[in-house]
Amino acid sequence: MEENNFKSGIVVLVARPNVGKSTLLNKILGQKVAIATPLRQTTRKNLKGIYTDSDSQIVLVDTPGVHKPLNELGKYLSNQSKDALCDADLILFLVDATQNAGLGDKWIYENYLQGIKTPILLVLNKVDLIKDLQTRELNLFSYKQLFNENIDSIKISAKTGRNIDDLIKKIKTYIPNAPKMYDDDILADTNMREIASEVIRENIILNTKDEVPHSVAVLIDKYSEDEKIDKISAKIIVNNDSQKGILIGKKGAMLKKIGTGARMELEKITQKKIFLELFVKVQKNWLKDKNALKEFGYE
């Protein structure tokens, strides 16, 4: 591919919580780089995933699910999503095919997308879960109505991979001719400390679900790498003593289960042995504390 025909651009994924942004990012890249759970507010920081092929490089920015902020962490998540839009060549507005446009989608349009000059592609996800074509088309129409104009759209399933190749082709029509921003072998703009923190948090969410809401932060106190084994020491921050009790579990069973799941996932990623140590600490009301948010990397 001649260099002047090579395409390169930044594509930002925006959606309300639990629509499937992280699942879509992982599916496009063909590898897990973002944690994805069935629960809201899984993504807390903008994460760049880099898709590179023979004629293009697409830098996909996975943003926190957008909703009206309720505390300092909520404000941080909202600002993360807004900041990402400034550099975008294309915005993917990801919506749920099984539902019509709701208040959350309308709030995103009015507070993030209305009047923006960056091109927007409406991506209808989870089409594998809706069999009635008429209902699906009515739901699509309800999202298009938000824009009061013609908007380009595509129907996909991030879970099954349906129409993902077509989505990539469509994205390429929007991004400019430009050189690569990253080397071919780079899949994500992150490091192993951040990946370890996210994998541990993912296992907390999957194992405790609604018992411990999203008032959990994970700090990596130590990460040492060796040829055959990586040693990690991490601190789990919670809001109160009852959450600490749930996380530790009877005779430490829950913490052991979380640690085992995280260790196995990290061993897949690093392709070597992992020694993982987990501790739990209570820091009350950290969600509302700007200094605490800064300390935990949300600034």
User: Which domains occur in the chain, in start order?
Assistant: 3-172 (3.40.50.300), 192-295 (3.30.300.20)
Count other C-beta atoms under 10 Å from residue 53's C-beta: 12
Residue 286: predicted pLDDT: 77
Residue 213: predicted pLDDT: 57
Q: Is 34 exposed, middle or buried (0-12, 13-18, 19+ CB in 10 A)?
A: buried
The model carries a pTM of: 0.68
Residue 73 to residue 289: CA distance in whole angstroms:
9
**End-to-end Cα separation, the chain, in angstroms:** 41
- Backbone phi and psi for residue 92, each to the nearest 5 degrees, phi listed first: -95, 110
Answer whether 46's CB lies under 8 Å from 80's CB. Answer: yes
Strand-pair partners of 230: 225, 274
- Backbone phi and psi for residue 13, each to the nearest 5 degrees, phi listed first: -95, 125
Residue 96 to residue 268: CA distance in whole angstroms:
31
Residue 192 to residue 197: CA distance in whole angstroms:
8
Q: How far is CA 279 from the centre of its chain?
A: 25
Q: What is the pLDDT of residues 73-132, one digit of tens each?
A: 555 555 655 666 778 999 999 999 999 999 989 988 988 888 888 999 999 999 999 989
Answer whether 168's CB lies under 8 Å from 51's CB. Answer: yes
Q: Is 249 exposed, middle or buried (0-12, 13-18, 19+ CB in 10 A)?
A: middle
Cβ-Cβ contacts under 8 Å for 134 (sequence gap 6 or more)? none
Which stretches of the chain score pLDDT less than 50?
1-2, 37-44, 67
Residue 135: predicted pLDDT: 93
Tokens of 280: 């739990």
- The region, left, alpha or beta by phi > 0 then psi within -120 to 50, assigned to residue 40 is beta
Residue 276: predicted pLDDT: 95
Residue 67: predicted pLDDT: 47
